[in-house]
Structure 1
Amino acid sequence: MILVQEDDFQVDALYKGLLKANETGAVAMFVGLVRQFSDLPNGACHFELEHYPGMTERNLQTIVDEANARWPLLDVCVVHRVGRLSVDDQIVFVGVSAAHRADAFQACDFIMDYLKSRAAFWKKESQGSESHWVEANTNDEKSLERW
């Protein structure tokens, strides 16, 4: 399942959707949250996540297809929020179920690395009246080298 949505998500429901009776030996999950990105004491921090409907989902499907080709997975769930998000809001859920934990852990890590650097999302951070578009992070690009 791949969802791009403004609404928040319920981790327990997504987890339960990954379970396959008599097959699941492991579920690995990642939940990304909005953290305080500024040390400035004044003004609330938030950001806007934008995407191109249709194109973003195809990007995510390509990443999930690659993970399924590399590891014997039972199921994958990716939920990514868009719109205005504030500190402590959930941004992304990646869940992977497999027969074995190593496959689940590696696939979840792989999907997050590729999602951070290859998925079609654009982020604008704001604090008070100041805002700026976030540039690509070189550390995210370096994380891809191990795959």
Structure 2
Amino acid sequence: MPGPVVRVQEAGFDLAAEAARLTEGRTDIGGLASFVGLCRADDGLAALVLEHYPGMTERALARIAQEAWGRWPLTGCTVIHRVGRLVPGEPIVLVLTASAHRAAALDACAFLIDWLKTSAPFWKREEFADGASRWVAAKAEDDAAAARWAKPA
């Protein structure tokens, strides 16, 4: 059984094509969970610019995808995160998790997106229609969501 697929890319992605690639010819999959994060037009946002360090980011995402693979009985996992300049309405991130049963697929998907939101090594800068820009700070509610996945000491 192959392990997780992780990609960091500027190009967009196609949810249906990625789901088909993950499930093609597979009869061991009983549940496929997906999450697609989109760029929202909050407070006059014109674009979101995502920066990263190539190599380091892919390794960090691969580590957490491998952790999900080990924590749940997954039969497939795809994580795609875009970088570069994205405008409202464009997809930013895709998480697909497959398992024989829905609970594992859903939990692993939630784990991955919570981790990506709080700990993935991306730097986000918002650009506004008036020409202003600002770096995006971490949010306490995102940290609280991710904390539920911490392993007991």
TM interval, short-chain normalised: over 0.9
Secondary structure (helix, strand or coil) at the match of 1:62 reads helix
Q: TM-score, normalised by structure 2?
A: 0.90
- Give the unaligned 5+ runs of structure 2: none
- Give the unaligned 5+ runs of structure 1: none
Match of residue 52 from structure 1: 53
In structure 1, distance between residues paired with 2:9 and 2:29? 27
Match of residue 2 from structure 1: 6
Q: Does 1:22 align with 2:27?
A: yes
Secondary structure (helix, strand or coil) at the match of 1:63 reads helix
Deviations 1:7-66 (A, max 9, x none): 11011110012215220101000000001121x4xxx61111000000001110111111
Percent identity, aligned pairs only?
Answer: 45
Matches within 5 A, 1:62-73: 62-73=63-74
Letter of the structure 1 residue corresponding to residue 118 of structure 2: S
Letter of the structure 1 residue corresponding to residue 82 of structure 2: R
In structure 2, distance between residues paired with 1:134 and 1:123? 5
The two structures, once aligned, show a CA RMSD in angstroms of 1.0
Match of residue 98 from structure 2: 97
Secondary structure (helix, strand or coil) at the match of 2:76 reads strand
Superposed structure 1 runs of 4+ greater than 3 Å apart = none
In structure 2, distance between residues paired with 1:11 and 1:145? 28
Preserved contact between residue 78 and residue 93 of structure 1 (Cα < 8 Å): yes
Match of residue 112 from structure 1: 113
Matched positions, count: 143
